[in-house]
Amino acid sequence: MATLQSNNVFNKLEFLKLMMLSREGDRREGILLRQSKGWFQVSGMGHEALGALAYLLREDDYLYPYYRDRGLMLARGLSTYELALAYFAKRGSSSGGRQMPGHYSSRKHNVFSVCTPTGGGCLPACGTAWAMKLDGTDSVVICTIGDAASRQGEFFEAWAFAVQENLPIIFILEDNKYGISTPTEKFLPFHLGIFDENSYVKVDGRKPENVLNAGEIAVNKARSGQGPTLIWLDIDRLSSHTSSDDHRVYRDLEDIEEMQHRDPIRLLAEELIAAGQLTQESFKALQEEVQDLVDKDYLAAEKADDPIAEEVMRDCWGAEVVAEAPPIGTGRMTMVSSINQTFQKALENDPKIVFFGEDIEDPKGGVFGITKGLSEQFLRLAPGVRTPVH
């Protein structure tokens, strides 16, 4: 079975506790909001089984999540206390109090900050995967999006680029059937036949072993240089879209009640009880333990330092660099030739620089000839490394 970076073998009972920690964190934030101790909350209820993907990742892998991935973040290594700091927008949170609740990030765990514009992380995720490929590593990227985001241009552009460059990336579509209040079935690309059935894998995402098994195949495929995978997870959004929404306004009460029977925590607990690995009494004791752990973390985070106004520009700029004249010849020259020479010097000095775009390759080198001669010279010196995108 796949293992975590900490070399812990996937264990259903331990994973049940992790999903319960995620659920209780969501519940606690909702309570705090009603107490006017928070200002916004976005829930991951129903998406917890996705955390199984973290058991497939190494420290050098990257995650580009979206805002319902609390379970995945806990499995990756973020703590409830860190998520609580982010909820309260505290100074010690990963963003220093600058991000919205549920917009996870962690430099330590290679978790890229969630983009509020849906699908906004797809192209940066491809950039990271491309860098991994150019560096010759077998690291992978996982990028998650909601079902409504599958209609965004960023998603289509990212998938096309991932296929074109055979990138080590896995896109996870978390299909909970709603884009806020709008049912997504009528415009989901998969239902419209836009994607060939051979280009994606559909999985019941309510059971962690399903997520783990599909993810393991995709990760092994990416690590071995066989390119990207698109996994379509069938799941439920057990809560309203956010604290600013009430799904009872647009969903049938029978539908809301019915999906509670598909709750991934309920399904796993029932499975473990049927297998004799858990009893009703031990499940209740586990619930109490989880509630106590989450309670302590949020009480501690609430007392942590708030951001300092004087530090508002901290981390916005890098260290100052003394300006130097570009290393090009002197004398009369056109603007185009000076730019071209600067590019040439940059490519000579740094083998990691990559040019890509339309109409930049020789013999033309762009509409105005700004990149003329560069691909002919540097593709010859480093074939397969600096390959322009057409």
Model confidence band, residue 357 (pLDDT cutoffs 50, 70, 90): confident
Task: Indicate the helix (H) or strand (E) that contains 349.
Answer: helix 335-349
| Domain boundary assignment for the chain | 12-311, 322-390
pLDDT of residue 9: 79
pLDDT of residue 84: 98
Residue 381 has pLDDT above 90, yes or no: no
Model confidence band, residue 308 (pLDDT cutoffs 50, 70, 90): very high
Q: Averaged over 223-240, what is the pLDDT? A: 97
Q: How far apart are CA 298 and CA 303, in angstroms?
A: 9
Q: How far apart are CA 287 and CA 17, in angstroms?
A: 8
Q: For residue range 33-75, what is the model confidence (pLDDT) as tens digits?
A: 999 999 999 999 999 999 999 999 999 999 999 999 999 999 9
Q: How far apart are CA 217 and CA 206, in angstroms?
A: 18
Candidate CATH numbers 3.40.50.970, 3.10.20.590, 3.30.2130.10, 3.40.605.10; the one for domain 12-311: 3.40.50.970
Model confidence band, residue 245 (pLDDT cutoffs 50, 70, 90): very high
pLDDT of residue 219: 98
C-alpha closest to that of 165 among 203, 114, 222: 222
Contact call for residues 383 and 351 (beta carbons, < 8 A)? no
Least confident residue range of 115-124, 137-146, 202-211, 295-304: 115-124
C-beta neighbour count of 100 within 10 angstroms: 17
Cα–Cα–Cα angle for 186, 189, 191, rounded to 5 degrees: 55
Task: Kindly report the length of the chain.
Answer: 390
| Greater model confidence, 322 or 222 | 222
- Tell me, what DSSP letter sits at residue 147? S
What's the distance, Cα to Cα, between the start and end of the chain in Å? 41
Please report, rounded to a whole number, the percentage of residues in the chain having pLDDT higher than 70.
95
Pairing verdict, β 182-183 and 62-64: unpaired
Report which residue type is found at 271: E
pLDDT of residue 328: 73
Q: How far apart are CA 66 and CA 69, in angstroms?
A: 6
Q: How far apart are CA 23 and CA 47, in angstroms?
A: 10
Residue 387 has pLDDT above 70, yes or no: no
Q: Averaged over 146-160, what is the pLDDT? A: 96
pLDDT of residue 386: 44
pLDDT of residue 8: 59
Contact call for residues 163 and 157 (beta carbons, < 8 A)? no
Q: For residue range 275-307, what is the model confidence (pLDDT) as tens digits?
A: 999 999 999 999 999 999 999 999 999 999 999
Q: How far apart are CA 210 and CA 262, in angstroms?
A: 14
Model confidence band, residue 3 (pLDDT cutoffs 50, 70, 90): very low
Residue 380 has pLDDT above 60, yes or no: no
Contact call for residues 128 and 222 (beta carbons, < 8 A)? no
What are the structure tokens assigned to 169, written together?
A: 């990336």
Supply the pTM of this predicted model: 0.91
* Alpha-carbon separation of residue 25 from 22, 101, 169, 363 (angstroms): 5, 12, 29, 58
pLDDT of residue 351: 84
